[in-house]
């Protein structure tokens, strides 16, 4: 019988106006991985914050190794053996690995001097024990996100944490790095640690879970061992309705070439990239992280510089010196990094939506407020942005709704060609489906879409044609009939050109 | 959901109008402390006293909203003022002198804008440099001497339109201009976006460079005007005038709710902030508070105002989000 490391019973938590958690029961056994899934806003984060001591529950109790405890702060949580690895890692770029491993609990010598010798010893010992070959003096700014994650895991181990919570750890690391992470998780599991793993990604969930809990609207809907679930049942439980297999893809007659890119090269590491897009087409761009897809699109949209290459829109060569040029040409881009390039979080929905189309509402620089309100309300309704009103701050919306705000912004422009870079990243299943539907509607209206994505299933599901990139070049082009994960991966790893 | 909507609206109203509430409470308290406080004479005095720094504060508000800052306004004010006075003494033309004051302010801030924009110098450093340079030029030009006997020039500072002193009149005009720019023009809208998230503004097709330089140019006109008014009010072309005014202006803007992280702030808030500071100074003088102690109190109030602002922001975010997202966890949305 496995021991239960952590158990919460009947936890409730309300925030003014919202019941975030209601009678939640959840437990983690030693030597097991418990996956927690649910749509954004289902209460996953709130639950984890309670376990980590950031919030206090309104009711219910928490037990660690069978003993009732009050987790009053993250520090207390650490003492009790709970360690949390956040999705967005906050770190001090100039700190070294050894400094950060022992941050806040550096061993001291007399007069409060830090005992660097002991730190070095302990660090090397830890690295050896975990079979890692980092240099303890490497600065954190020189580490990749996956290495930083590994460092967080090391920190947890060095603190003797028994319960490790990971919040969507694979959202920004490469496939190869995911493998390394999963090996580590398996290792921790074998050593009897209890792991709580939060994720949206079905393939991952089914790979590493021992148990799966599904959270919806602040309640645990279902907790079962993995083998009693399948992908469809998890999804339908998450969204509370059957979603139907597959994608809302419809055949749309394809017209003339509307965008032609030739010989694109740029300082961001892509060269001689040529492709075209036809009217009514969804053209996919597949490839591994770092293949240069985003970089090409940014240059095409006028955000980054390029060395050479021509762009033709509707057959005529156009200049793209900056974003303004691109918008004028009818080409818009939804960035992969919504918070950085998409929204102005502290301003309201209305201002965000009209940001790119101010000339429609400002005549001679003067605002026509009522026209603005009605247009924004109309477009937000069409895109189905869920919000109290168009006057709320965008930062208060969920990820999916923020993405819809950015889409609304570009819809106001009525563009011919939309570049969607990872349009469904970090948003929940229901909102994903809505975005797919919207894409279908757009091509039905005669628009064209370039879809960059790292999730092959959605590319295969939605695209008419696909380009595959590797190392800054286009290595393959596939028609819908030729789509298969294997074919795409072969091009993405550039196996057709040289042996790996 | 319905509950949530009304509460969100209430939150918005509260955060938008709390500064005016503070102002009203202050007027009531001051009136209780001293019966002369609300006399037209005293109010008119206060308005005239705060007019110069308030005009500067409007400029700072525009800049801070755009994620910028001007530390040079006190020095540029002196340079614009002495040059304007000098031109008046040479030519006797009030309109020419007025134009020179504005142009000097605009030119200095054009340089600020270029330094920030073209050479990517942080606004703090660029305007710090300008602060020293402009003061130096003002002293060089006057050889460190005040320009006396400025004659009719004093009209700018002591004239009246109806019963409104000219500086107060100009303060109101600048306030209205600021309000209009911020709330009713695409420039203003772009400015909020640039300050709120520069990258997103650029990726939405906003010419970020033009907005930033534009913000400095507007500030420059305000600073030039403030220089003219100060020289005229004090009846002397003083190259040493306006020292520390940049901080008075920043204080008013910040107390008025302009967020130093950019993207937030209003003209009305800044005006209220300026009056709060003005009332505070006035009531402390009327009730005979020690002038050294006054400084301590003023500093404390700045810390209090900004502290409250930050606290309210975190609290607001936490409440309106329901699912409770603190600043650092709001990033969760980005995958």
Q: What single string gives the DSSP state of each residue in A168-181?
A: STTTTS-HHHHHHH
Is A323 an 8 Å CB contact of chain B?
Answer: yes
CA angle (B263, B265, B269) in 5-degree steps: 175
Instruction: Tell me how close the Cα of A369 comes to any Cα of chain B, in angstroms.
Output: 9
CB contact, 8 Å: A343 with chain B? yes
User: Hey, which residues does A222 pair with through a beta bridge?
Assistant: A214
Instruction: Give dist(CA A223, CA A220) in Å, integer.
Output: 7
Q: How far apart are CA A392 and CA A268, in angstroms?
A: 37
Cross-strand partners of A398? none
A290's torsion region: left (phi>0), alpha (psi -120 to 50) or beta? left
- Token pair 């985003």 is at which residue? A294
Token digits of residue B155: 């009209």
Q: A471 and A364 in one domain?
A: yes
What's the pTM?
A: 0.76
Same domain flag for A281 and A177? no
Give the pLDDT of residue A496.
Answer: 53
> Binning pLDDT at 50, 70 and 90, where does residue A127 land?
confident
Question: Tell me, what's the pLDDT at A99?
Answer: 87
Write down the pLDDT at residue B8.
59
User: Of B187, B206, B332, which has the smallest distance from its Cβ to A45's Cβ?
Assistant: B332
The residue with greater pLDDT, A1 or B320, is A1
Per the prediction, chain A carries an average pLDDT of 86
Is A482 within a domain? Answer: yes
Contact A379, A353 (CB under 8 A): yes
Please give the sequence-ordered ranges of beta strands (E in DSSP) within A112-268, or none if there are none. Answer: 163-167, 194-198, 211-216, 219-225, 257-266
Which of B196, B318, B335 is the closest to A344 by Cβ? B196
Q: By three-state DSSP, how is residue A183 classified? A: helix
Q: Which of A149, A33, A177 is nearest to A84 (CA)?
A: A149
Same domain, A198 and A281: no
Measure the CA angle with vertex A38, ends A32 and A40; round to 5°.
130
> Using 50, 70 and 90 to split pLDDT, how confident is the model at A497?
very low
User: Is residue B259 helix, strand or coil?
Assistant: coil
Count CB neighbours of B328 within 10 A. 11
Regarding whether A321 and A210 lie in a shared domain, the answer is: no
Span A326-336, average pLDDT = 93
Per-residue model confidence (pLDDT) at position A281? 94
Query: Concatenated DSSP letters for B269-324?
Result: HHHHHHHHHHHHHHHHHHTT--HHHHHHHHHHHHHHHHHHHHHHHHHHHHHHHSS-
Contact B197/A344, CB-based, under 8 Å? yes
Measure Cα distances from B207 to A145, B203, B257 in Å: 32, 10, 26
- Residue A86 in 3-state DSSP? coil
For residue A268, what pLDDT band results from cuts at 50, 70 and 90? confident
For residue A244, being part of any structural domain is answered with no
Residue B254 forms contact with A (CB below 8 Å): no
Nearest CA in chain B to A398: B333
Domains in chain B, CATH or no CATH each: 34-311 (1.10.3470.10)
Judgement on whether residues A222 and A332 belong to the same structural domain of the protein: no
pLDDT of residue A388: 82
Considering the domain boundaries, does residue A247 fall inside one? no
- pLDDT computed for residue A133 by the predictor: 81
Shared domain check, A280 and A199: no
Task: Please give the average per-residue pLDDT across A81-105, as a whole number.
Answer: 83
Q: Does A364 touch chain B (CB under 8 A)?
A: no
Dig out the tokens for A242 from the structure: 């059957």
Identify from B200, B258, B265, B313 which residue to disrupt to test chain A contact, counting A C-beta atoms within 10 A and taking the largest count: B200
Q: Are residues A75 and A186 in the same domain?
A: yes
The answer to whether the beta carbons of residues A23 and A217 sit under 8 Å apart is no
Contact B71, B220 (CB under 8 A): no
- Segment 43-102 of chain B within 8 Å of chain A by CB: none
> B193 CA to chain A: closest CA distance, Å?
6
What's the residue count for chain B? 335
Same domain, A42 and A165: yes
Examine residue A452 and state whether it is found in any structural domain, yes or no.
yes
d(C-alpha A239, C-alpha A431), whole Å: 10
Is B323 in contact with A46 (Cβ distance < 8 A)?
yes
Note whether B310 contacts A: Cβ–Cβ < 8 A.
no
Do A30 and B334 form a contact (C-beta atoms < 8 A)?
no
Q: What is the pLDDT of residues A224-235, one digit of tens each?
A: 998 888 887 887
Q: Which of residues 391-410 of A touch B (CB under 8 A)?
A: 391-393, 395-396, 398-399, 402, 409
Nearest C-alpha neighbor of A84 from the set A195, A192, A230: A195
In whole angstroms, what is the distance from residue B216 CA to residue A228 CA?
A: 65
Q: Measured between alpha carbons, how far is A220 from A245 in angstroms, rounded to an integer?
A: 24
How confident is the model over A199-214, as a mean pLDDT?
86
Residue ending a domain, choose from A206, A239, A272: A239
Residue A310: beta bridge partners?
A: A262
> Considering Cα of B234, then B239, then B245, then B246, what sign does the dihedral take?
positive
Rounded to 10 degrees, what is the CA torsion of A275, A321, A324, B195? 120
Q: Do B203 and A354 touch (CB under 8 A)?
A: no
Domain boundary among A177, A206, A239: A239
Spatial strand order in the sheet of A270-278 = A270-278, A257-266, A308-313, A316-318
A351–chain B Cβ distance below 8 A for any pair = yes
**Does B3 contact A341 at a Cβ distance shorter than 8 Å?**
no
On chain B, the residues whose CB falls within 8 A of the CB of A409 are 204
d(CA A470, CA A3): 47
State the greatest distance between any 2 C-alpha atoms of chain B, in Å, as a whole number. Answer: 69
Question: What's CA A53's distance to the chain center, in Å?
Answer: 25
Q: Which of A16, A342, A351 sits opposite B7 (nearest CB)?
A: A16
- CA-to-CA dists, residue B275 to B24, B46, B106, B246, B287, angstroms: 11, 8, 26, 16, 18
Q: What is the pLDDT of residue A302?
A: 92
Residue A361 tokens read as 């509402």
Task: Report pLDDT for A78.
Answer: 87
Are A366 and A232 in the same domain?
A: no
Residue written as token pair 């510089």: A305
Confirm whether A177 is domain-assigned: yes
| B142-151 confidence digits (pLDDT tens) | 998 999 888 8
Q: Scanning the structure block, which residue is given the tokens 């999916």?
A: A400
Looking at the structure, tell me whether residues A177 and A271 fall in a common domain.
no
Q: What are the 10-residue block averages of pLDDT along chain B, 335 residues in total?
A: 57 73 88 89 91 96 96 96 94 93 97 94 95 96 90 88 91 96 94 95 94 97 96 92 92 89 92 92 89 88 77 60 38 34
Please say whether the beta carbons of B49 and B229 come within 8 A.
no
Task: Please state the domain count of chain A.
Answer: 2
Of A188, A204, A239, the one marking the end of a domain is A239
- What count of Cα atoms within 13 Å lies in the side-chain half-sphere of residue B151? 13
Tell me if B185 and A367 make a contact (CB, 8 A cut-off).
yes
User: Is the separation of the CB atoms in A290 and A274 below 8 Å?
Assistant: no
Residue B174 token pair: 């600048």
At which residue do the structure tokens 């309210």 appear?
B312
Tell which residue, A151, A280, A74, has the closest CA to residue B326. Answer: A74
Residues of B in contact with A18 (CB under 8 A): 4, 322-323
Identify the three-state secondary structure at position A451: strand
User: What pLDDT, in 10s, does the model give residues A228-254?
Assistant: 888 878 877 876 654 445 688 888 889
User: To the nearest whole angstrom, how far is the Cα of B57 from the nearest Cα of chain A?
Assistant: 22
Residue A88 three-state SS: coil
**B204 contacts chain A (CB < 8 A):** yes
Q: Looking at the predicted structure, is the pLDDT value of residue A336 above 90? A: no
**Which chain A residue has its CA at the smallest distance from B4's CA?**
A17
Supply φ then ψ for residue A135, to 5 degrees: -85, 125
Residue keyed to tokens 């906050």: A90
> How many A/B residue pairs have CB atoms within 8 Å?
161
* Structural domain of A442: 257-492
Answer yes or no: are the C-beta atoms of A384 and B5 closer than 8 Å: no
| Structure confidence at residue B326 (pLDDT) | 38
Residue A497 within any structural domain of the chain: no
**Are the C-beta atoms of A108 and A115 separated by less than 8 Å?**
yes
Q: Alpha helices, DSSP H only, in chain B?
A: 2-33, 40-65, 73-91, 94-117, 123-142, 155-158, 166-184, 186-196, 198-203, 208-234, 245-255, 267-286, 291-321, 327-330
Say which CATH number the domain at A150 has: 3.40.50.300
Residue A248 placed within a domain: no
**Residue A87 domain flag:** yes
Torsion, Cα of B104, B105, B108, B112 (10° steps):
-160
As beta bridge partners, residue A287 has: A469
Question: Can you name the residues that pair with A35 across neighbouring β-strands?
Answer: A197, A212
Q: B324 and A55 in contact by Cβ < 8 A?
A: yes
Among residues A85, A79, A49, the alpha carbon closest in space to that of A67 is found at A79
Tell me the C-alpha to C-alpha distance, in Å, between residue B273 and each of A362, B54, B292, B301.
Answer: 30, 9, 22, 11
Q: Looking at the structure, tell me whether residues A222 and A303 fall in a common domain.
A: no
Reading the block at residue A170, the tokens are 């694979």
Q: Are residues A235 and A261 in the same domain?
A: no
């Amino acid at each position: 019988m496995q021991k239960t490391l952590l158990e919460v019973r009947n936890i409730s938590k309300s925030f003014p106006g919202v019941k975030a958690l209601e009678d939640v029961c959840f437990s983690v056994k030693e030597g097991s991985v418990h996956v927690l899934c649910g749509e954004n806003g289902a209460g996953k984060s709130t639950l984890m914050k309670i376990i980590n001591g950031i919030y206090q529950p309104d009711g219910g109790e928490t037990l660690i190794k069978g003993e009732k405890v009050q987790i009053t702060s993250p520090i207390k949580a650490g003492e009790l053996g709970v360690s949390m690895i956040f999705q967005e890692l906050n770190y001090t770029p100039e700190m070294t690995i050894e400094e950060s491993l022992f941050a806040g609990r550096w061993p001291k010598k007399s007069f409060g001097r830090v005992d660097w010798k002991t730190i070095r010893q302990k660090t090397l010992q830890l690295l050896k024990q975990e079979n890692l070959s980092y240099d303890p003096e490497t600065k954190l700014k020189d580490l990749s996100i996956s290495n930083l994650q590994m460092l967080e895991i090391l920190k947890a181990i060095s603190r003797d944490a028994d319960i490790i919570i990971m919040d969507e750890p694979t959202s920004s690391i490469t496939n190869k790095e995911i493998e390394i992470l999963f090996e580590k998780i398996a290792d921790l599991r074998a050593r009897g640690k209890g792991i709580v793993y939060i994720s949206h990604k079905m393939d991952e969930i089914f790979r590493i879970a021992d148990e799966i809990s599904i959270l919806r609207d602040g309640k645990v809907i279902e907790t079962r061992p993995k083998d009693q679930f399948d992908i469809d049942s998890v999804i339908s439980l998450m969204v509370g309705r059957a979603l139907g297999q597959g994608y809302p893809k419809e055949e749309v007659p394809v017209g003339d070439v509307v965008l032609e890119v030739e010989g694109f090269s740029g300082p961001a590491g892509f060269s001689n990239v040529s492709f075209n897009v036809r009217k009514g087409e969804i053209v996919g761009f597949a490839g591994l992280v770092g293949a240069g897809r985003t970089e090409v699109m940014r240059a095409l949209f006028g955000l980054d510089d390029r060395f050479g290459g021509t762009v033709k829109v509707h057959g005529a060569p156009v200049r793209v010196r900056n974003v303004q040029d691109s918008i004028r040409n009818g080409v818009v881009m939804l960035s992969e990094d919504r918070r950085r390039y998409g929204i102005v979080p502290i301003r309201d929905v209305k201002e965000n939506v009209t940001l790119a189309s101010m000339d429609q509402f400002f005549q001679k620089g003067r605002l026509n407020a009522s026209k603005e309100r009605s247009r924004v309300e109309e477009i937000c309704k069409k895109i189905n942005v869920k919000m109290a009103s168009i006057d709320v701050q965008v930062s208060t919306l969920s990820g999916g709704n923020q993405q819809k705000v950015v889409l609304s912004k570009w819809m106001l422009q009525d563009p011919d060609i939309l570049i969607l870079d990872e349009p469904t990243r970090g948003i929940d299943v229901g909102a994903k489906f809505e975005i797919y539907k919207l894409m279908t509607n757009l091509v039905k209206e005669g628009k064209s879409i370039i879809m960059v994505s790292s999730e092959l299933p959605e590319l295969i599901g939605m695209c008419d044609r696909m380009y595959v990139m590797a190392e800054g070049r286009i290595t393959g082009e596939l028609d819908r009939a030729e789509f298969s994960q294997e074919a795409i991966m072969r091009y993405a790893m550039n196996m057709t050109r040289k042996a790996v | 959901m319905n509950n949530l909507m009304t509460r969100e609206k209430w939150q918005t109203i509260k955060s938008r109008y709390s500064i005016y509430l503070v102002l009203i409470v202050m007027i009531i308290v001051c009136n209780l402390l001293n019966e002369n406080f609300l006399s037209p004479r005293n109010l008119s005095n206060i308005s005239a006293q705060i007019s110069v720094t308030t005009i500067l504060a409007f400029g700072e508000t525009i800049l801070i909203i755009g994620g910028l800052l001007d530390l040079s306004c006190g020095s540029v004010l002196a340079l614009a003022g002495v040059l304007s006075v000098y031109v008046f003494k040479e030519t006797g033309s009030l309109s020419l002198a007025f134009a020179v004051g504005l142009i000097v302010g605009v030119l200095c801030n054009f340089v600020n804008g270029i330094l920030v924009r073209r050479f990517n110098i942080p606004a703090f450093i660029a305007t710090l440099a300008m602060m020293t340079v402009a003061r130096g030029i003002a002293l060089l030009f006057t050889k460190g001497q005040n320009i006396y006997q400025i004659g009719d020039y004093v009209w700018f500072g002591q004239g009246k339109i109806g019963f409104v002193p000219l500086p107060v009149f100009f303060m109101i005009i600048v306030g209205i201009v600021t309000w209009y720019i911020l709330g009713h023009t695409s420039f203003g809208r772009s400015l909020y976006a640039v300050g709120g998230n520069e990258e997103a503004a650029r990726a939405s097709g906003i010419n970020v460079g033009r907005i930033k330089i534009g913000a400095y140019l507007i500030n420059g006109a305000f600073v030039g005007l403030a220089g003219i008014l100060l020289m005229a009010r004090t009846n002397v072309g003083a190259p040493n005038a306006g020292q520390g005014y940049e901080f008075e202006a920043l204080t008013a803007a910040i107390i008025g709710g302009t967020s130093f992280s950019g993207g937030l702030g209003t003209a009305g808030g800044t005006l209220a902030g300026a009056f709060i500071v003005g009332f505070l100074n006035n009531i402390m003088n009327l009730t005979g508070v020690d002038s050294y102690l006054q400084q301590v109190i003023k500093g404390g109030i700045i810390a209090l105002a900004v502290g409250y602002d930050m606290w309210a922001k975190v609290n607001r975010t936490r409440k309106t989000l329901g699912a409770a997202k603190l600043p650092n966890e709001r990033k969760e949305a980005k995958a």
